Chain A
Amino acid sequence: MTSSTTTRDAAPAGDEVRGALPRAARPRVRRTVARAVLVVLLVVAGTFLLDPYRNYLLALVGAYLCATAGLGLLVGRSGQLSLGHAALMAAGGYGYALTAGAAADLPDGLRTVLGLLVAVVVAAVVGLLVGLAGARLHGPYLAGLTLALVMALPAITTTVPGLGGDRGLTVPFQPVPDALDAVIALEQWQAWVVAVVAGVVVTALVLVDAGRTGVRQRAVRDDEVAAALAGVPVGRTKVVAFVLSAAAAGVGGALLCFVTQNVSPGAFTVSLSLLLLVGVVVGGVGRLAGAVVGAVLVVVLPWLVSLLTEALPLGAELARRLDGNLALLLFGVLLVVLTVLAPEGVAGAVSRRRAARRRAARRPGREAP
C-alpha cells in the first residue's frame, strides 16, 4: 500500500530539506503548538454539546487516534508495516493498569500522569525490541513478526503472573475532580483528559515528522541505498520510527484503560490490529486527518451499523447475526471501494480535489481532472 506513494515521492523534496533547518524551525514549532492548543480547546468546548454517551465515544476516538496517528506515520513515512499495533496498545494499557493499581494511595491526578508515563515507557521498550528486529526485516516479514506479537498476547497474559489472564486487570474509577463535579459528567471529564493527552501525542508526532527525523524517515522509505549514501543511518532511523509509533500506541492503550477501567487481552485482538490499519488506510496513510478519520471509523462504524440493523425491517435473529458482522463487512467494502476510487484515502481524496479546484481556478479554461 505504500508502493503507490513511493514512486510518486521520488521527486525532489525541496520543501522538506528547507523545513529541516533549525533557523526556520522555531516559528513552525510555535505555530504547530498553538494550533494544537486551539484544536484541543475546540474539542473541550465541543464536549458541552454532547451527551455522556457521545462524550464517551469521543474519548474512545481520542484513544484510538493516538494509535492510528502513530501507525499512520510508521506506514506512511518510514514505510514499515505493522499488524501488531493492538499489542503495543496492550503494552501501554497493562503498564497503566499496573502502575495505577500499585499507586492506589497517590492523588488521582498524579496516579494518572504516572500511569501514562509508565505506559509510554513500557510500550516504547516493546517497540524498541520489535523495531530492532524489524529494522532487519522488510515488508511482509515485519508484518509477520508484528502479527505474531499480537497473536501471542493472550498466551503472554496467561503465562506472566500478575496480568490477570483472560480476565485482565481492572483499574478503579477515576472520578471527576471535586471542583468540577457539579458542572460536568464523568464521560465529559474523561473526554477532556483524553483530548489533552491525545493533543500532546499528536503534536509531538507532527513536530518530529516535520523535523529532521521526518526527513530521514522519508529518505529511508524512498530508497534505503540512496539514504545511506547521503549519510542517513538507515537502521537507526527505522528503529526510531517504530519506537515513536509504539509509544503513541501505548498512550492510546493507556487512555483506553483510563476510560473503560479495564485492560484484558480480549480488547487487543488481531482484528483490532487490522481495524487500526484499515482505518489508517481508509482515512489516508501518512496524514493526520486520515488518522482522525480512521479512529472515528474504528469507534463509530460498529455503532452506526447497529443503528442501521435496528432501523431495517429485519427478523430479530438476522439482525442479531448482522449486528457484529456487518460492521466488519462494511469495513471491508469501504476498504475496497476507497482503494479503487481514492487510493490515498478519504483525506487524500479531499485534498486532491481541493488542489484540482485551485489549479482550475488559476488556469481558467482547463478542466479539472
Chain B
Amino acid sequence: MSRSAAQQPFTRPRATAVAAVAALALGGLAACSTPEAEAADTPGVTDDTVTIGAHTPLTGPAAAGYSSISAAATAYFEYLNAQGGIHGRSIEYVVKDDSYNPATTSTVVRDLVQNEDVFAIVNGLGTPTHLAVLDYLNKQGVPDLFVASGSASFNQPEAMPWTFGFNTDYVTEGKVLAHYVAEQHPDETYCLLRQDDEFGEDLASGIGHGVELASVQTYAVSDDDVTAQIGAMQAAGCTVNFLATVNGFTAMAIGTAAQMKYPATWATSSSGGDYPTLVGFLGEDLGPVLLEGLVSTNYLPFGASDEWVTLFQQVNDEYNDGAPFTGNTIYGMSVAYTFAEALLRAGEDPTRDSLVAALESGDVTGNGVLPLAFSADDHSAFHGAGITEVHDGVQAYVDGQVLTTDAADGGVEPFDGAAVPLANAGVPTE
C-alpha cells in the first residue's frame, strides 16, 4: 500500500530545495544586487522620451473615487505628446495599481524605480499609501512630485528634499474656508463633521482658527450611516455645518440632513466638494436642490467658462474616450500640466537635480487660481485657495474670493494677483 500524501512528512529535502531555488529563479537572474556606480545617463530620460510613474488605486474600494485621476493625467500627456512633447521628448506615464494598500505601494514603487527606471514619481496618491514609500524615494534620490494629499508630511524640505506636495495643505484650506464662512455668515452656530483621521484632524484645526465650533462629530470611513452625527449637530442648534469629509460622506451628510428635515448651510473642503461627483451620489433630480448654497474651497480651474476647463474638456473628449468630466479630471490634467512645465524648466537635458532645482526656483507657476508657491524651504504647492458656491445648479468661483494664508497661525489675506492664464493651448513654453 502506498503512503497517502498527507501522511508524508511536512518537509522533503528535495522539494524544499527545489522550491527555494525556484523562488530565486523566478523573474530571471538578471542583474547583480551589488550597488553600482551611478550610470552617466539620467534614469528614465532618452533622446525622445521621459518615463515617469505613479501609484494609485485602480482596483479596490478606493478606486471608484480616484482611478479617474491617473486616466485624466494620461490623457493630457497624450495630448501633449501629440503637440510635440517637451524639448522634443514625449512623456510616458506608467501607472501602477496599489489598491490603496500601503504594502502594495511599497512593491509597485520599487518596481517603477528599479525595473521601469522612471525619471520621477508623479502624483502618487494617498496619505497612508505614499507614507510607505516616502523614506525610500528620498533615500534613493528619486524626485517625488505632486503627491496627491494635503498632509503636512509631504512638505518637509529638510528631511525629505525630493518630495513635493500638490494639494493645498489641509490646515491652510480649513483656515481659508472658515475665514470666508465667518465673514459671510456671521453670528451663526457652527458645527463640524470630520473624518476620524489625519485629513479630518488637519482640516478641523484649520477651521478652528476661524470659527468657534459648538459641536464636532466624527465618522470612520467604514461607517455606512451618519444619522447619529447629523442628529447631534441638529440638537446642538447648528445653522452652519463644516464638513471635513470626502465626497461620498459629503453627499451622505447632506442627504441625511434633508431626510431629517434639517436645513443648514454646508461648507466643505476641495476634497469633498466636487459638484459633479456629489450630483452623481445624490441624483440628477435631488442633487441641485440639496446642494444649493454649498460653499467649498478649490485651487484649480473650475467652471464651464474657464479657458483651462474648456481645453481639458476637449482633451478629455479626444484622449480619454469622453469619460465623465469631474473635479478629478481637472485635477489629473492640472498635475500633468504642472509636471510638463517643471520638465520644461528643468532644461534641454533634464536631470533629477535640475528638475528639483526648477521647482525650488519658484519659476513653475502651474495653472491654479493662484500661482504655485514652491521654494527651497517650502515644498507645499498652494498657499491659499479660492471659494466656490453652488447657485441654481452651477458651482462657480465667487469673484474676488481667493484667500492666502499659511499652515500656522498667520492671518488670512485676500490674494491680489490673477489666476494663471492659459497660454499656447496648454502646452508649456519658455
Residues of chain A at the chain B interface (Cβ within 8 Å): 5, 8-9, 11, 13, 15-16, 32, 35, 38-39, 42-43, 46-58, 60-61, 73, 76-77, 154-155, 158, 165-168, 170, 172-173, 182-188, 205-206, 209-210, 214, 256, 259-262, 264, 266-267, 269, 285-289, 292-293, 295-296, 299-300, 302-303, 306, 316-317, 320-321, 323-325, 344, 347-348, 350-352, 355, 359
Contacts and interface: CB of A to CB of B under 8 A. Distances in A.
B141 to A, nearest CB: 13
A255 B321 CA distance: 43
A261 B127 CA distance: 15
Nearest to B36: A185
20 contacts: A8-B4, A9-B6, A11-B7, A48-B33, A54-B28, A56-B114, A57-B26, A61-B23, A166-B197, A168-B128, A170-B131, A269-B101, A287-B12, A289-B15, A296-B19, A296-B23, A320-B70, A320-B97, A344-B6, A351-B12
A269 B61 CA distance: 12
A323 B222 contact: no
Contacts of A54: 26-28, 30
A222 to B, nearest CB: 10
Contacts, number: 230
Nearest to A267: B103
B35 A185 contact: yes
B424 interface: no
A51 B32 CA distance: 5
B196 interface: yes
B150 to A, nearest CB: 14
A172 B135 contact: yes
Nearest to A265: B128
Contacts of A285: 6
B16 interface: yes
Contact of B1 (A11, A188, A206): A11
Interface stretch (B105-113, B168-176, B275-283, B361-369): B105-113
B423 interface: no
Contacts of B13: 35
Given A76-B6, A287-B10, A58 B24 contact: yes
B4 A209 contact: no
Contacts of A264: 102, 128, 132
B201 to A, nearest CB: 10
Contacts of B15: 287-289, 347, 350-351
Interface in B1-48: 1-13, 15-24, 26-35
A29 to B, nearest CB: 13
| Residue among B4, B19, B136, B321 facing the most chain A CB atoms (10 A cut-off) | B19
B220 interface: yes
A88 B324 CA distance: 41
A51 B114 contact: yes
Contacts of A48: 32-34
